[in-house]
Amino acid sequence: MAHCRPCIDAGTRKDDALKTGSELDRRLIVQLADAITDSHSLEQFVRPLLGLLESATGLESTCMTAIDESAGLQHVLYARNSSSLQIPEGLVVPWGDTLCKRALEDAANARLLDLSYRDALTGLANRRRLLDTLERTPAGSLAALVFFDVDHFKELNDRHGHPAGDEVLRRIVEAMASRAPAGALLARYGGEEFACLLPGIDTATAADVAERMRAAVAAMTVQIPDGPQDARVSISAGVASRHLHAPEDRQRLLRDADIALYQAKDAGRNCVRISAG
């Protein structure tokens, strides 16, 4: 069965259609409201919308199509043509190589890529995104890496339950993100471990960033649902920095930051330690 998807096709923009500002916004809202209230059929609803799309985007041609995926065909139901580019109503084209299909596929692929790079719980970049970004860092660049671990997180989970632990992780992320400088990539590395990649940053500056994040987390409290009192948490951090001349340097950076993190935990937790590497 064919089903309808909105599709915009276009040639060049018209100069007089490139309008911005609140006056145009108000006019479009009024026109949209009129189209909704005055329409008694699909056609009466769609044609004003095509005009709105033209006004908002400056496209010479806009259209609505019905896509029959089983037959591999796209049918132009309604079209608005205001310049040299003409899309005829009733036109039937193969669906496999249309601009609309490519746009939908590109949007779907971009969404899938974003999901594959994002941690579902916290919304941060995930380990894969961090490692891919580190791998693509230009040779010779200076980069710092900070590993963070939530102190005594297992005990908190055991005492208050996993929903409370999830809320703690989200609040920690909020506190850390509020202290992250521009250009930093903050990621959930796994479990209760986080990482922050800092391009072009030396060790001392990275340690200062890590300390600000540590202090922000230590200063906050987390309300535990149905808990007798709010929870306080802390994080430990390990800092490393080096110039990335060769692939081995990236592995050394990961190793050095990890060693420094363990040094912070051995030193009593809730502190920052710098790699000697």
Residues noted as catalytic = 192
Strand order in the sheet with 73-81: 3-7, 61-68, 73-81, 92-94
The full DSSP string for 97-112 is G-HHHHHHHHHHHHHH
Q: Which stretches of the chain are assigned E, i.e. beta strand?
A: 3-7, 61-68, 73-81, 92-94, 125-126, 141-150, 185-190, 193-199, 221-222, 231-232, 235-244, 272-274
The C-alpha atoms of residue 183 and residue 264 are separated, in whole angstroms, by 25
Could you list the beta-strand ranges (E) of 47-131: 61-68, 73-81, 92-94, 125-126
The token pair that represents 24 in the structure block: 């145009």
Q: How many CB atoms lie within 10 A of CB 35?
A: 17
CA 16 to chain centre: 34
Alpha-carbon distance of 128 to 185, in angstroms, equals 12
Find the farthest-apart pair of alpha carbons in the chain and give their distance in angstroms, rounded: 74
DSSP letter (8 states) at residue 124: S
CA dist., res. 99 & res. 102, Å (int): 5
